[in-house]
Amino acid sequence: MKETIIHGFKVKYEDTARPAIDFLLTDLDIDECRVFFDEAKQKKFAKFEDHQDREYTLYYNPDRSYTLIRR
């Protein structure tokens, strides 16, 4: 698994989720992006789609990091 930081949030991901990393970093502003992180923290996961209708799930981990997977 790879790791990156998105707007201050540590995110672990596989290569199949790389387009979502780009989507969260470049296509959304920080407030739009933060909605997914807040929901994942509150509900333990957040589902979303990018502009190409690819589906992803962002999970909140016990170590306060997040895991991003493609569905």
Domain limits, the chain:
2-70
Percent of the chain with pLDDT over 90: 100
Lookup: tokens for 20: 């979502």
Half-sphere exposure of 58 (CA within 13 A, CB side): 28
- What is the predicted pLDDT for the residue at 42? 98
21: which residues sit within 8 A by CB, 6+ positions away? 4, 6, 11, 13, 68
Residue 63 corresponds to which amino acid?
Answer: D
| Alpha carbons 35 and 33: distance in angstroms, whole number | 5
Task: Give the pTM.
Answer: 0.93
